[in-house]
Amino acid sequence: MQTNTLWLVSMIRDARIRTLELIRDLNDDQLIGPKLNTVNPLRWEIGHVAYFYEFFVLRAHLKRDSLLGDLADQIYDSIAISHSDRWDLPLLGMDATLRYMAETKEAVIGAIEQEHLDEKAYFMAQFGVFHEDMHTEAFFWTRQTLSYPTPNLKSSIGRASVGYPGAHPGYVNIKGGYFEIGASKDAPFSFDNERGNHFVDIQPFSIAKAPVTNAEFADFVDSGGYQDNRFWTTRGIHWRDQRRLMHPGYWRKNNFYGWEVRQFDKIIPLADNEPVIHISWYEANAYALWAEARLPSEAEWEVAALGIPTTNGSLSPNKRRYPWGDSMNEGNHANLDGFSMGPVDVAAFAAGDSAFGCRQMLGNVWEWCSDTFGPYPAFKADSYQEYSQSLFGKTKVLRGGAWTTRSRMLHGTYRNYFEPERWDIFSGFRLCKS
């Protein structure tokens, strides 16, 4: 228990360091920002992160009063307060917000160190860390959306340290068979939407060794793929035409140097061998049809990432927790935690290959799947009941994490989900064929 306590406390402190790193250089106007559907006002969002710990650990399990009294629910409850109203709330000043965050953090840590937490409270404290990790990833895309300066992270090592190994073309063939999808009951941690592990009959398929690259996607753009309705769904056409899209949102054409892309506040040359990123499900699906392929189903993606072939090529009844094995070692295996401060070539991190030879199934870029997000059998919501079920049937599934994702919360059965029009997130895709 002592080891678990130290581990949880260290995660809470580390998550808060990342939060503060991502907002400390911003001025008062930037911390509020414009009212957009895809971002939150950052001064509200960092307070909400603290409120989550307070509400689900200190109040729900330890029966303590709020540090802010009734005001906390009035300004930080993300379920009760509509997104568009968050800019107009009587928010705390920045100093008061930081003080509330610090006091809440120390109160939770004190409760953990004094062993006041039962199993459910301990789970929610750990959930609180991962909830903060999800928001720090959102801080990255907020800064990208609003053209804020590139964040300065002490842990960042930059892309050059990874090298430039290039592309990683080709497909692997998977025979198929019965495969158990979802998190096992003995998993160290899982979210409610991963549970309900169940067997699926997987038909033979082929899946790309790596995500689609910028160079590959540029061929689609240059060939007129954005104008050809044959490759777009009806809703995709409406979304594309409404935004008058001719190419990915952050791309720019330079008549001398070809395609460029905006990353935070900088315009840089488009790197051919990096995965295409900031792509909506509509764009990914259109490219797949243009390439005479398709997006993988969520089950196919999990097989390729975690499955183990037998000697005759069929599926083993066992699977891994991570593509490379059962323990996380992000330094050698995946582009995570913001260390590179951007995506890297799709051939990088060969040590992270899955048993089938698929690269970067975790890290670098989130990957769209064909599926609409829904519950597994016998789904049961966690204490944070709105985490999953309010998005069932409304969003598309992404798997695998991105360079911005924290490694401690990511594993092979983790499911992410966003509306198909969202392109501001760190999303890409890989191709699949039957």
pLDDT, tens only, 87-133: 999 999 999 999 999 999 999 999 999 977 889 999 999 999 999 99
CB-based contact 30:41 (threshold 8 Å): no
Here the CATH number for the domain that contains residue 62 is 1.20.120
Q: What is the pLDDT of residue 257?
A: 83
In a domain, 63, yes or no: yes
Range of the domain at 78: 2-145
In a domain, 9, yes or no: yes
Mean pLDDT of 323-346: 90
In a domain, 222, yes or no: no
Same domain flag for 137 and 173: no
Q: What is the pLDDT of residue 301?
A: 98
Cα four-point dihedral sign 193, 197, 203, 204: positive
Work out the percent of the chain whose per-residue pLDDT is above 90.
Answer: 89
In a domain, 107, yes or no: yes
* 345 closest CA partner among 218, 161, 168: 168
Mean pLDDT of 364-383: 96
Same domain flag for 21 and 116: yes
Q: Which residues of 396-407 are buried (b: 16+ CB within 10 A; e: fewer)?
A: bbbbbbbbbbbb
pLDDT, tens only, 149-195: 999 998 888 777 788 999 999 999 999 999 999 999 889 999 999 99
pLDDT, tens only, 230-256: 999 999 999 999 999 999 999 999 988
pLDDT, tens only, 24-48: 999 999 999 999 999 999 999 999 9
Same domain flag for 73 and 206: no
Same domain flag for 68 and 195: no
Work out the percent of the chain whose per-residue pLDDT is above 70.
Answer: 99
Number of domains the chain contains? 2
Other CB atoms within 10 A of residue 393 CB: 10
pLDDT, tens only, 123-143: 999 999 999 999 999 999 999
pLDDT, tens only, 191-226: 999 999 999 999 999 999 999 999 999 999 999 999
CA atoms of 330 and 426, how far apart (whole Å): 18
